Amino acid sequence: MNFDIGYMFDIFPRILQYLPIVLYMGTLSFVLAVIVGLIFAVIINAKVPVLYQLLRVIISYFRGVPTLIQIFIFYFGLPQLFPSLSSIQAITAVIIALSIKNAAYLSEVFRSAFLAVDKSQFEACEAVNMTKWQGLRTVILPQVFRVAIPATGNYYIMMIKETSLAFTIGVVDMLARAKLESAVTYKFLEAYLAVGLIYWAITVVLAFLQSKLEKYMERPYLKEATKS
């Protein structure tokens, strides 16, 4: 057998140096995707004329195009249209592509979560003179998030993994580092398996945190829950 396990452990730290850039790309795109997805969901649920139809098309487009192609369009294609973007950074292109694509998916998650929350509570907010924003913020949105958290968490995990596409346009991330390492030693299996294991570990940790958060958010809806 030709597997150098010692080598694999040796390069872990070197690959892990690039963990921050992976988390940065994944997390920033995720936050942007949540914000944009929420805005999309509100527009769609309110059926804002024109914007609504336009959004349906945009969402359909971003769901239909493979992520890698989308990244290429933003990175190589946009500077052609807007020369001022010629210096668009690879990382920026990845973040834009990932956030818009996932906003399209998340808008659907949020839209149905909004529908799942009993709106009669909002009337109660109005009857006690809360402003629309106060009602949304203190009563409706927390319940929307509770419904949406399982699916949203899964998108976060997926997005972290999708950032590995960044390497195709020259971002030096964990995958790029592993490729560099193995190009010198020809120990491909060890290097790529090391990256794979790191991604796996990340998803396990995130999934654990997600289930903790879900439990926390469920508290008000469990019969035995009586703490404030």
Partner 1 sequence: MIKIQNLHKSYGNTAILKGIDVEVKDGEVLAIIGPSGSGKSTLLRCLNFLEKAEKGIIEIDGAKVNVEQYTKADVVQLRSKTGMVFQNYNLFKNKNALHNVSEPLRLTKKMPKKQAEQVAYDLLAEVGLKGKELNYPVALSGGQQQRVGIARALALNPYVVLFDEPTSSLDPELVEEVLNVMKDVMKQGRTMIVVTHEMEFAKEVADRVIFMADGYIVEQGTPEELFTNPQNERTKRFLKNYLTLHN
Residues that bind partner 1 (CB under 8 A): 118, 120-121, 123-130, 134, 138-139, 142-143, 146, 219-228
Q: State the virtual CA torsion across 8, 9, 12, 13 in degrees, nearest 10.
A: -140
Least distance (Å) from partner 1 to the CB of residue 5?
50
Residue closer to partner 1 (CB basis): 98 or 148: 148
Alpha-carbon radius of gyration of the chain: 22
Positive/negative CA dihedral, 175, 27, 37, 81: negative
Cα-based angle 161, 163, 164 (whole degrees, multiple of 5)? 80
How far is the C-alpha of 163 from the C-alpha of 165, rounded, in Å? Answer: 5
Smallest separation, CB 138 to partner 1 (Å): 6
Q: Minimum distance from CB of 146 to partner 1 (Å)?
A: 7
What's the chain's length in residues?
228
Nearer to partner 1, 63 or 137 (CB): 137
Residue 90: CB minimum distance to partner 1, A: 42
55 vs 125 by CB, closer to partner 1: 125
Residue closer to partner 1, measured from CB, 201 or 225: 225
Q: Where are the alpha helices (DSSP H) in the chain?
A: 5-16, 19-45, 51-64, 67-72, 78-81, 90-116, 120-127, 132-135, 141-162, 174-185, 188-218
Residue 44: CB minimum distance to partner 1, A: 24
Q: Which is nearer to partner 1, 89 or 131 (CB)?
A: 131
Instruction: State which residue, 20 or 220, has the beta carbon closest to partner 1.
Output: 220
Closest CA to 117 of 151, 141, 153, 97: 141
Least distance to partner 1 from the beta carbon of 155, Å? Answer: 23
Q: Tokens 């969402």 appear where? A: 59
